[in-house]
Amino acid sequence: MVTTYLEKETIEQPIQSTVQLQMENILKVNNLEIFYGEKRAVNGISMDIGKNSVTALIGPSGCGKSTFLRSINRMNDLIPGARAQGEIIYEDLNILSEQINVVALRKEIGMVFQKPNPFPKSIYENITHALKFAGIKNKSKLDQMVEESLQKAALWDEVKDRLHKSALSLSGGQQQRLCIARTIAMKPAVMLLDEPSSALDPISNAKVEDLIVDLKKDYSIIIVTHNMQQASRISDKTAFFLNGDLIEYDATEKIFTNPSVKKTEEYISGRFG
């Protein structure tokens, strides 16, 4: 757990949570600011993320939503000049602390990227690569974890007879579900999805959406999407970002039918973005 690796340590507030959802929170973000050099990309955001739910982040390109998403498992650390201030609380600890073991954090908070990125290895090795690195060597255990992960990613029936074929032989939609299975294998608590179906055909996109809805039984999911229909279909809560600010955050049904902020309504209705 991350707790073993970490020692504990104004702008206008957005409209949020006028509709109360009965859910436990897994993450609490307090006054988060993210900079690239001197440029501030995220402006003092505060929000709670529900456990076993899907939270959608929407907004036009360059509004800060992907930057915000990457901060949750410290992927922004890989960008020269990037720095964050504020708090992201997970298991009562600030994961932005310099004392955190980032490798351990990324096992707890996994990420799937916009473009499918399977390793140039077999389907089986794509799942077991990180597991072996984590010290799991027993073949029967690895076999079990491969099957469980692919089952959860709704891919097992399609690939069970070709596990030792190259992952690159899979279709784009299958590759993305393999990447989700690879993340599942590490048994994270939180899954971050950065436009995971934007490069997929409609049928593959529908499969990924169905998978996301199913996975929230076991995981807390945060998804960046430009697809308004997708956000409305699969998410429990939606956060609207604009120019680095969190403009509105509420139950998805309310955001899409009766938003509290005019800018949200204008974006949802396609008047800009």
Token pair, residue 124, equals: 């089986």
Burial 146-165 (b: 16+ CB within 10 A, else e): bebbbebbbbbebbeeebee
Q: Is the pLDDT of residue 65 over 90?
A: yes
Looking at the chain, the whole-number percentage of residues with pLDDT higher than 70 is 91
Query: Within a 10 A sphere around the Cβ of 203, how many other Cβ atoms?
Result: 9
Q: What is the mean pLDDT of residues 90-105?
A: 94
Report the DSSP pairing between strands 39-50 and 93-94: unpaired
Q: Is the pLDDT of residue 6 over 70?
A: no
Burial of 86 (0-12, 13-18, 19+ CB in 10 A): middle
pLDDT value, residue 22: 57
Q: Is the pLDDT of residue 72 over 90?
A: yes
Q: What is the mean pLDDT of residues 225-247?
A: 96
Q: For the ranges 63-67, 132-136, 234-238, which has the lowest average pLDDT?
A: 132-136
Is 57 in contact with 248 (CB distance < 8 Å)?
no
pLDDT value, residue 10: 31
Q: Is the pLDDT of residue 5 over 60?
A: no
CATH numbers and ranges of domains, the chain:
2-268 (3.40.50.300)
Q: What is the pLDDT confidence band of residue 185, given thresholds at 50, 70 and 90?
A: very high
Q: What is the mean pLDDT of residues 61-87?
A: 95
